Amino acid sequence: MRSRDAARWRAIAPGRVNLIGEHTDYNGLPVFPIAIDRDVRIEFRVVDDPVVRLDSPSARFAPFAFQLKRPIEPAAQGDWSNYVRAAARGLLEHGISLKRGIEGTVSGDAPIASGLSSSSALVVASALALLKANGVDVDDGAARGDGSRAMSRLELAALMARAERFVGLEGGGMDQAACLHGVEGHALRIEFDPLRVTPVPVPDGWRWVVASSLVRAEKSAGARGRYNERARQCREALAASVGAVPGGQAPNSGNRATNTAPAYNDLVSAADPGGLLRRVRRILSPVLFRRFRHVVTEGRRVALAEQAMRDVNMHRFGQLMVRSHESLRDDYEVSTGELDAIVGVALEAGAAGARLTGAGFGGCAVALCDDSTVAPVMEALTARFYKPRLGGPPTTDMLFVAKPGGGAGVQEM
């Protein structure tokens, strides 16, 4: 049965570019991304039966339909409908009744499988569409005069971060939070446990050039195993490092039992980071030590980078991006030859900083440029990275300037 309500809606959810703080979110440490002016959108109408029917103008994405009833079974691994199913499943498991469904079309200009979180954008857009269809507002979380309460953006971001794990990646909460909390012209400090988002203005005259490595980074496919392996290694390294902190317990651990594993958060704020790393090095295997060192040093870089941006010291911010890239390349081992090449070309052409962005294993790099270096950096990347590989210039999906944009929402069309 179709609704007589002919209204059409558009749920829009942006992708994100992480500026610094990579592989820190699932370790409970802050990240510092921007939501970007590239999005995934679902144009839909509400239907009276509990069903989702979506298609896409792209032949790569076959039309699908599923019932909004538990259990929502996954489609085959790699099937794009799994991101929509994940959103529906997350809402249902949270106790939200989804009596009405949606039918419509998914499109957008966020590059796919590029490490820019188009998948989380699809999850968030799907959730917003389903909530709209079922009369649940999403707001800033303030209590309402009539006693009812909408779902807050923070609640929805945390819920969708858990829901997306249904697709397989043991992700942290960065992507969904950035997507829902984007603020034009601002970077976002996102903290976890509990989730908090603090916008920080990006100084005028600075731009973020995004460059694809031309290697796909699909969360549901190849990179998943290596990503999840890193998450496991971080947990192991933390548990094993307990003996390396004074008295066998974490600094700042208050009245915790002496055998309590420290949190990365405690370690990042340790008074003597060099001493901590020396002690931990004696305990951990070389691989686990490198993972540990990346997480702890990256955690410190996020705080320093945020301060640099607030101080309008963007050259310092750029240096921290370069340190971050080196750590991801050498200690975390998630870079690729292509990402290293992009970073090298961008820096030689005058970028203030450059690094891989997102999980790595392919995907994109981001370069920090001022107004005078944007064009030379993009020209150098075209000539030295893209033309030799493509035989011609890159598309605007491969190389573009990303603007810090606003957060996800639903509009009437």
Q: For binding to ligand GLA (CB under 6 A), which residues are involved?
A: 18, 22-23, 25-26, 169, 171-172, 174-175, 358-359
- Cβ of residue 169: shortest distance to ligand GLA, in angstroms? 6
What is the separation, in whole angstroms, between the first and last Cα of the chain?
Answer: 22
Q: Which is nearer to ligand GLA, 22 or 370 (CB)?
A: 22
Q: Which is nearer to ligand GLA, 50 or 362 (CB)?
A: 362
Backbone angles phi, psi at 216, to 5 degrees: -65, 145
Q: Which is nearer to ligand GLA, 15 or 409 (CB)?
A: 15
Q: Which is nearer to ligand GLA, 211 or 359 (CB)?
A: 359
- Cβ of residue 375: shortest distance to ligand GLA, in angstroms? 29
- Whether the CB-CB separation of 346 and 355 falls below 8 Å is answered with no
Directed axis angle between helix 118-133 and helix 153-164, to 10°?
120
- Cβ of residue 27: shortest distance to ligand GLA, in angstroms? 9
Q: Which residues pair with 190 in a beta bridge?
A: 31, 197
Catalytic position from the list 37, 175, 331, 370: 175
Residue 354 to residues 210, 321, 370, 393, 410: CA-CA distances in angstroms?
Answer: 10, 6, 13, 21, 34
- Whether the CB-CB separation of 271 and 251 falls below 8 Å is answered with yes
- Cβ of residue 307: shortest distance to ligand GLA, in angstroms? 20
Q: Which is nearer to ligand GLA, 155 or 170 (CB)?
A: 170
Give CA–CA dist 259/352, Å, rounded: 44
Q: Which is nearer to ligand GLA, 113 or 367 (CB)?
A: 113
Q: Which is nearer to ligand GLA, 72 or 161 (CB)?
A: 161
311 is catalytic: no
Give CA–CA dist 240/244, Å, rounded: 8
Backbone angles phi, psi at 267, to 5 degrees: -70, -35
Give CA–CA dist 134/130, Å, rounded: 6
Give CA–CA dist 56/51, Å, rounded: 17
- Cβ of residue 48: shortest distance to ligand GLA, in angstroms? 35
188 contact partners, CB below 8 Å, separation of at least 6? 32, 33, 34, 35, 177, 178, 181, 182, 197, 198, 199, 200
For residue 186, the one-letter residue type is: H
Lay out the sheet containing 399-402: strands in order across: 353-357, 364-370, 206-212, 399-402
- Cβ of residue 311: shortest distance to ligand GLA, in angstroms? 24
Active site residues: 175
